Structure 1
Amino acid sequence: MLKRIALFLATNLAVLLLLGIVLSVLQAVFGISLRNDAGLLVVAAVFGFGGSLISLLMSKWVAKMSTGAQVIEQPRNEAERWLVETVRRQAQAAGIGMPEVAIYEAPEINAFATGANRNNALVAVSTGLLRAMNRDEAEAVLGHEVAHIANGDMITMALIQGVLNTFVIVLARLVGRVVDGVLSGNRDGESSGGIGYFVTVFVLEIVFGLFASMIAMWFSRHREFRADAGGARLAGRDKMIAALERLAMTYGESTLPKQVQAFGISGGVGQGLARLFMSHPPLAERIQALREARPDERAVRQGVVA
């Protein structure tokens, strides 16, 4: 929790500095100002969606570079052939293009999917998963990741994050205007751009940013249930439950880079406030949801093949 807050502080300092530079350019070239509502919305949208969309477009490249994942161009052994053919079969069943299939070196049992396009994505599995899971369990994990792609989860999360980022930037500055206007004695409550404005914006971006992160993580946890149901549809419910049970027995802290950690299969661990920042529901809850879902509910919830 303290690490996350420190990250928010550092991020907001960087954002404030960058906003100041961009604002100077926009004022000089286009006459756009953050004191103008239209100008504020334009700048907020550029910053809010810009980073999310750039991250989405670069997600495959970043994932490969940060994990050292090696794409299987030509299978070198029976295990690699099985991986490629299993993903191919599941992708066809889910109605998406064939993703790239990769392996990355890591001791943990994990896998992830990423990519900006349902027909040009990446599915990667850890060497730890290949060593610890049997074929049925690994098939379910691959189905879970293919379901993420088929459900468009990477695109959805990028858009949600863009909306939340824009909301944080706009609301913090609107409140900052009012507070600074009151402190400076302006009867109409409008900001004069003083120190009160910048301090208020800085503090509120941290506060609103924390709330925005909670909302994003709630959506992330929800889509994990859908991906589990999709994996059950593609590989079989018993295989999906067995895979999650195997994860529960061996789960440790994820070593995936932050950029792709939310798209791994590993479950979440946390209590109290920490639970609000979990990208994955606890594995026990995911297993219970699969066990309790009726056949018709599984078809509706999985979102891959309705």
Structure 2
Amino acid sequence: MNYAKTALLLAALTAIFVALGAAIGGQAGLIIAFFIALVMNVVSLWKSDSIVLRMFNAQEVSEATAPELYRIVRDLAQNAGLPMPRVYIMNNPQPNAFATGRSPSHAAVCASTGLLEALDRDEIAGVLAHELAHIKNRDTLTMAVAATIGGAVSMVAQWMQFGMLFGGGRSGDRGGLGVFGTLAAIILAPMAAGMVQMAISRSREYQADRLGAMICGKPLWLASALRKIDVAARRIPNEEAEAIPAAAHMFIINPLNGHGVDNLFSTHPNVENRIAALEALAREMGATGTGPSGHSGGSGQVWIGGQNYTKPPNPWG
């Protein structure tokens, strides 16, 4: 059912882009936009990881340059039964993270410097487990393709707006739509594309929260992290994400300083709803402060994969 829903949502994004092409150039514009959409889908399929990482100027790290971060990802990946993903850090003060890649064997996880500075190791593990859950569920490809096409829809709508400002808008120039049709396309197309992206994000964040909690064994680690980073994200801007709003749904927390109730125009589920679900899962799992294998995960320690990590000098790189 999830794969069928994803296919329908991506088809809707492609249809919106093609409709914009028809609005710009009639039948010829429709055909051109259709082939452009096909190319974007193929490029996103094979290069989504590098495209997104380049968008946010992320730098790859290794066990030598960021030992603790790398080891936490490695052990979580082993817990999840995943190949070791590439590990990246983006230099951004807003605490946030995302995962990308067309498949588990071509995946990457990225954490911001703000996240590594704001959270303790338990909470970082919870966040990274959530991102690995997206990889295991194969959400990363869907979300990256949606970001690529959604961004293209917004770009074309902006181009149409500038065209109207500088003398466009004749019905012959807009495939018969005229000024009012063009205005409708400018307003409704980005809104429709955004709504499709939101539907992808909201349904999958709850699933990734649950699976991520099971990967690290401690739902309350992620619940605590969500509380902290939600507050920080509201007051610390993410300039790169503001410049690429179509990619906002990829992050664990809305990077656009959104406010939260679950509604049609929310890029992410309400954080309090997510925390409540994680707390309920913790009660189901009998999580009362003890980590996997009965070990207590105290401050400054992470218990993952049977190993207890304490902070070495410069652990994050």
Distance 1:157 1:67, change over 3 A: closer
Q: Deviations over 1:220-267 (max 9, x none)?
A: 112111111122111211211111122234233551432643222224
**Paired position in structure 2 for 1:154:** 140
- Once the two structures are overlaid, the 10-residue window that deviates more, 98-107 or 208-217, is 208-217
Match of 2:313 in 1: none
Equivalent residue, structure 2, for 1:223 = 204
Unaligned runs of 5+ in 1: 1-10, 24-32, 166-190, 297-306
The answer to whether residue 52 in structure 2 is matched with residue 63 in structure 1 is yes
Alignment of 1:50 with 2:30, yes or no, is no
* C-alpha spacing 1:17/1:57, structure 2 compared with 1 (3 Å): same
Query: Which position in structure 2 is the counterpart of 1:262?
Result: 249
Question: 8 Å contact 1:52–1:158 — kept in the other structure?
Answer: no
In the alignment, the residues of structure 2 paired with residue 254 and residue 146 of structure 1 have an alpha-carbon distance, to the nearest angstrom, of 25
Q: Which has the higher contact order (CA 8 A, sep 6+)?
A: 2
Residue 89 of structure 2 corresponds to residue 107 of structure 1: no
How far, CA to CA, are the matches of 1:130 and 1:103 in structure 2?
Answer: 9
Q: 2:278 aligns with which of 261, 282, 290?
A: 290
What is the one-letter code of the residue matched to 1:58? Answer: K
Aligned-residue offset at 1:47:
3.5
Q: Give the match for residue 220 of structure 2.
A: 238
The answer to whether residue 191 in structure 2 is matched with residue 210 in structure 1 is yes
Q: Is the 8 A contact 1:53 1:158 kept in 2?
A: no
Query: Number of paired residues?
Result: 241
3-state SS of 1:270 partner = coil
Q: Spell out the pairing of 1:76-87 with structure 2 (5 A cutoff).
A: 76=65, 80-87=66-73
TM-score, structure 1 length as denominator? Answer: 0.64
Q: Distance in 2 between matches of 1:85 and 1:193?
A: 57
User: Which segment is superposed worse, 128-137 or 49-58?
Assistant: 49-58
Please report how far the alpha carbon of residue 287 of structure 1 lies from its aligned counterpart in structure 2 after TM superposition: 0.6
- Structure 1 position 134, deviation (Å): 0.6
Alignment of 1:97 onto 2:56: no
Contact 2:21 2:33 in 1 (8 A): no
**Letter aligned with residue 284 of structure 1:** E
Q: 1:192 to 1:123 in 2, by over 3 A?
A: closer
Hey, what does 2:8 align to over in structure 1?
none
The whole-number CA distance in structure 2 between the counterparts of 1:105 and 1:162 is 22
**Aligned residue number for residue 251 of structure 1:** 233
Of the three residues 120, 141, 144, the one matched with 2:127 is 141
Q: What's the counterpart of residue 196 of structure 1?
A: 176
Q: Do 1:110 and 1:129's aligned partners in 2 also have CA atoms closer than 8 Å?
A: yes
Please tell me whether the aligned partners of residues 254 and 261 of structure 1 are also in contact (alpha carbons under 8 angstroms). no
Deviation of 1:102 (Å): 1.4
RMSD, aligned α-carbons: 3.8
Counterpart of 1:117 in structure 2 is 103
Distance 1:202 1:288, change over 3 A: same
| Aligned 8 A contact 1:108 1:128 in 2 | yes
In the superposition, relative to structure 1, how do residues 264 and 254 fare at CA in structure 2: closer, same or farther (>3 Å)? farther
Give, in angstroms, the shift of residue 115 of structure 1.
1.5
* Of 264, 275, 281, the match for 2:269: 281
Of structures 1 and 2, the larger Rg is shown by: 1
Q: Which amino acid aligns with 2:74?
A: R
Q: 152-161 or 219-228: which moved more? A: 152-161
Structure 1 stretch displaced more, 223-232 or 47-56: 47-56
**Normalized against structure 2, the TM-score is what?**
0.62
The corresponding residue for 1:127 is 113
- Percent of paired sites with the same residue: 32
Give the Å deviation of 1:289: 1.9
Between the aligned partners of 1:83 and 1:67, the Cα distance in structure 2 is 19
| 3-state secondary structure, aligned to 2:267 | coil
